[in-house]
Amino acid sequence: MNPVNELHFLTSDECEVLLRIARTAIDQYVNERATIDLDGYALTPRLQRNSGAFVTLRKAGELRGCIGYTKGLEPLADTVRDSAVNAATRDPRFPPLTAEELPEVRIEISALALPEDAKTSFVPVNDVAEIEIGRDGLYLENAGERGGGLLLPQVAANHDWDVSQFLDAICEKAGAPHDAWRAPEAKLYRFSAQVFAED
């Protein structure tokens, strides 16, 4: 397992379990169109707590699929299983993953941080000085032709963006002009995630 950022609310063992779930879920679905049962996995209370997560697939370093859930509608382990299958087969930007590609694909998981007393992972941005590259992802609501957009915390760090470039990118993701985050109707949120990947 390769930790991608400094945030740690899951143990290394819990991260390994989630990566194993994601890998097995993709393999089973692509090869057999079957959904895996999670009963055989060591699911700790944290892995059974409802939480949002995203699964990103990369092939030769290039994006091959990314889908997830911002809201904790299911236990984290279930969210990762379902997001992994969806990233492999239902990302509209890419054709479904083939069995031949499976050995070449690297899985990365972004488990959204959710404080114990909170109902959402999203924190309203009142001042852009609050945004920290590498720690924060951005979620823009009520903006652009897509109605909004989301960028995970690792995206800005991977592209070596500053906050201004990150804000431009989130507007672009929403299909909006670069200053759309300033519009009165737009809502800008930051969030953090523990990001880890297969070695």
C-alpha span between 53 and 15 (Å, rounded)? 12
**Number of domains, the chain:** 2
**71 and 137 assigned to the same domain:** no
In this prediction, residue 2 carries a pLDDT of: 62
**109 and 175 assigned to the same domain:** no
In this prediction, residue 23 carries a pLDDT of: 98
SS3 state of residue 129: helix
Q: Give average pLDDT by consecutive 10-residue segment, the chain, 199 residues.
A: 70 97 98 95 94 96 94 93 98 96 97 77 93 95 86 94 97 93 94 94
**102 and 128 assigned to the same domain:** no
**52 and 149 assigned to the same domain:** no
**95 and 158 assigned to the same domain:** no
Question: What's the pTM?
Answer: 0.89
Q: What is the CA angle 81-84-87, rounded to 5?
A: 150
In this prediction, residue 58 carries a pLDDT of: 96
**99 and 127 assigned to the same domain:** no
Domain that holds residue 6: 2-114
